[in-house]
Amino acid sequence: MSAIHLPRTIRIGGGVLDELPAVLAAAGLSRPLIVTDSWIADCGILERVEALLARAGVAARSFTGVVPDPTVSSIEDGCAFLAGGDHDCVIGLGGGSPIDSAKMIAVKGGRSVQSLKSPHQEDAPGLPIIAVPTTAGTGSEATRFTVITDAETDEKMLCAGLAYLPLIAVCDFELTLTKPARLTADTGIDSLVHAIEAYVSKRANPFADSMALSAMRLIWPNLPRACADPADRAAREAMMLGALQGGIAFSNSSVALVHGMSRPIGAHFHVSHGLSNAMLMPVVTRWSAPAALPRYADCARAMALADNTVSDQGAVGRLVEALQQTNADLKVPSPRDYGIDKGRWDDIVPLMASQALASGSPANNPRVPDVDEITALYAQAWA
């Protein structure tokens, strides 16, 4: 038996940003706080949204203090800004960091972020959350999770519960048309990892499976197209839908070992989330696949890497090779090539391994590792 959770309203398609005032009105909301970062504020997207709302008579205030890999401190700043106005909802405008920040700002109240980290489940609703993604990646617009960094301990804290599930998602692929190749690649691989991990997870279910397989079919052929030509509207639309479906898949199943190991790399070495996922995906897939060969083979077939005439073993071999080749094609560096100091890496790996295990995500993996096995996988991923 599975419990499926989705945003109440999802608007999808080119130009749907213009429907934001109507969407708010339909939900009885009229006093939003917009949560975003300095890039969205500087590139004109925030100004466009503010003008759109103002023309509809919606009085909005904007907090632009979101930082990459949001920290406890940046969340506290956002909560203080929220308290300075009279708001009935929070709009997360941007990539994963603004949307994750909006979730926590809407939910936290007077509690510490640390008290809300997994395994705590926060299901009591805070302010309604409206997600407007400007990247095709995290899927946060449709998930019941947020990730906030404790800068004092360099821990990326996974926070889970229905409180973080947006009420409304507005997914306009036209907002992604100007995103550079590196960001497109990193966020796109993040989406692909969401889909694959949701499908092979121990918590997989038929509903999440359908979303995951559809996401793989959309993302795999369109990711290189979107990277090669940022203005490829068809590829961008497919990537936005694939990211949404990947988010729905893992929110109703789970992520697994790649994400568990990826978060500490991001926290300790400030590597973007999608990039750290990409660094790990081929190594972890090769290690995990023997425990769920038919499921990984299904992924290879959904990605058109093999058909039903190819054995499961052969299909999975092609999957691992394709993941390695995609990393090469999209210029995904290893931790070594990224410039991480080898001594620092070796010193911190035991802590990263224990943090990965403590996050709970590795327990959802088809092959569940212990600390020593995670340590060995980090060593393999180094080069």
Separation CA 238–CA 247 (nearest Å): 14
Structure confidence by residue, pLDDT tens digits, 358-379: 989 999 999 999 999 999 999 9
**pLDDT (0 to 100) of residue 89:** 98
User: In angstroms, what is the C-alpha Rg of the chain?
Assistant: 20
Structure tokens at 1: 């038996």
Q: Which helix (H) or strand (E) holds 100?
A: helix 96-107
Separation CA 99–CA 37 (nearest Å): 10
Structure confidence by residue, pLDDT tens digits, 96-105: 999 999 999 9
Sorted by where each begins, the domain ranges of the chain are 9-176, 181-382
Whether 93 contacts 20, CB under 8 Å: no
Q: What CATH number belongs to 181-382?
A: 1.20.1090.10
Residue 370: Cβ-neighbour burial (10 angstroms; 0-12, 13-18, 19+): exposed
Q: Which helix (H) or strand (E) holds 156?
A: strand 155-160
Structure tokens at 124: 């009591």
Structure tokens at 326: 């995609």
Whether 369 contacts 257, CB under 8 Å: yes
Nearest alpha-carbon partner for 13 in 231, 176, 223, 179: 176
User: For the whole model, what pTM was predicted?
Assistant: 0.95
Separation CA 355–CA 16 (nearest Å): 40
**pLDDT (0 to 100) of residue 137:** 85
Helix axes 181-200, 273-288, angle to 10 degrees: 40
DSSP string covering 210-230, please? HHHHHHHHHHHHHHHHHHH-T
Judged against a pLDDT cut of 90, whether residue 2 lies above it is answered with no
Question: Distance between alpha carbon 62 and the CA centroid of its chain, in Å?
Answer: 23
Judged against a pLDDT cut of 80, whether residue 1 lies above it is answered with no
CATH architecture of 9-176: 3-Layer(aba) Sandwich (3.40)
Please provide residue 62's backbone torsions phi and psi, each rounded to the nearest 5 degrees.
Answer: -125, 130
Q: How confident is the model at residue 156 (pLDDT cuts 50, 70, 90)?
A: confident
Judged against a pLDDT cut of 80, whether residue 205 lies above it is answered with yes
- How many CA atoms does the CB half-sphere of 368 hold within 13 Å? 9
For the chain, give the percent of residues with pLDDT over 90.
Answer: 92
Question: Distance between alpha carbon 333 and the CA centroid of its chain, in Å?
Answer: 20
For the chain, give the percent of residues with pLDDT over 70.
Answer: 100
Judged against a pLDDT cut of 80, whether residue 337 lies above it is answered with yes
**pLDDT (0 to 100) of residue 138:** 87
Do domains 9-176 and 181-382 share one topology? The answer is no
Nearest alpha-carbon partner for 250 in 331, 147, 350, 168: 147
Separation CA 378–CA 376 (nearest Å): 5
Nearest alpha-carbon partner for 365 in 141, 118, 193: 193
At residue 345, the 3 state secondary structure works out as helix
Residue 197: Cβ-neighbour burial (10 angstroms; 0-12, 13-18, 19+): buried
